[in-house]
Every structure is written in structure tokens, then in C-alpha cells.
Amino acid sequence: MFDFNHKKAVQALNYFAYNEGGIINKMKAIKLIWLSDRAHLRRYGRPIIMDQYFALPFGPVPSNTKDLAEVNLFSSEDEVIYRNLFLNVIDKYKYQSIKDVDSRVFSETDLTILETVYSEFGGYSEFQLSELSHAFPEWKKHEAGLTNRMASRYQMNYLDFFEDPEVKDCSIFNESDELKELARDIYTENVALTYGNY
């Protein structure tokens, strides 16, 4: 259940670029994907992309998705071939959509969350999204280590995504306690089934 889904990652990157008129800043797209994974997890008990997140100075980063948004040697050949059907990496800051989004890879709830996140946060710049992310508990718990340069990145825990952010103007994260608790139970049960007790 929790294996990285490169097709969803590529299509999420494609979705946000498409909505930006075809070209998007990589950091902005990555932050929009983090917000989408966070929102979907808190409602339905699973992230959309199933990526591994790290806290970096500019905020949360889905590691494998970031690799697909740039040219490097970390993605597999199959992942790169699929990426190249839909995206063109322009430079280290931007990439573009070169083909319509294949929405068939997503569930209905995936698409609803992607649309909701873009509606609420699409007007933010990459730096505004980075600053916003610093108010979220999954990043704040690593802030001191990043600030003091004890490490360049820290692995994040999806369970921290269930904690509420300090910002109050993010309506997408105003779920009821009951809904969050149910989603958290679904998530932990699926992790236990997939990986055993942790």
C-alpha cells in the first residue's frame, strides 16, 4: 500500500503545471503536492503519492517526486521514461507540462483534493508556500536541527501530518477531530498490515 507511486507523482506534477499555464516552479509544485498528501491523509487515511518526506530548510519535500521534477540519476529508468512522456524539465527551477494530465491514475478523492489544494493555494508563490510550511508541526519539530545545521534534512513521519498547524487561515485543514481520528486509525492499521508493528 505504501510503495511510491511514480505515475501519480508525475501526474500530480503535471496537474499543477497544467493549471499554471504549462510551466511551474518546481518548489511550488512540490509544496502543493505536500499539501495535497497532507489533506488526503487527514481525510482518507492515506497520502496520494505514497512518497517519503524529508524536512529541508525550505520545508517538506517528497523525495522521489522531487527527483522526477528535475534531471538527476536517482529515478529509475521506467520512472524517467514515464516522466518524459508528460513533463519537460526546463532547468533546476522550472518544468513544463507537455501532455494532458492522465487523471485515470487518480481516485476520485485524489482529484478532489488536488483541485481543492490548487484552489486554496495556487495563488501562492513558492516562497510563500515555503514560509507557510514552516508553521506546520511535521516541519517545526525539525526546525532547530535545520537552523543549527545539525543535519541537512530529516525524515518526516506521516503521523505528524495529523497534528494541526499553527496557522488558522488554511480552511482545508479544519477537519473534525472525529474525522482525523478515523483517518489516523485507517492509516496506522494499513501500516501495520503492510509492515507489521512499528
Average pLDDT, stretch 53-63? Answer: 97
Contact 60, 134 (CB under 8 A): no
Q: What is the pLDDT of residue 72?
A: 86
Percent of residues in the chain assigned helix, strand, coil, to nearest 5: 55, 10, 35
Note the pLDDT tens digit of each residue in 63-78. Answer: 999 999 998 888 899 9
Query: What does pTM read for this prediction?
Result: 0.94
Mapping DSSP to helix (H, G, I), strand (E, B) and coil, where does residue 99 land?
Answer: coil
Determine contact, residues 14/87, Cβ cutoff 8 Å.
yes
Sign, CA dihedral 34-39-42-43, equals negative
pLDDT 10s digits, 80-97: 999 999 999 999 999 999
Average pLDDT, the chain: 94
| Degrees to nearest 5, angle at CA 8 with 101 and 6 | 120
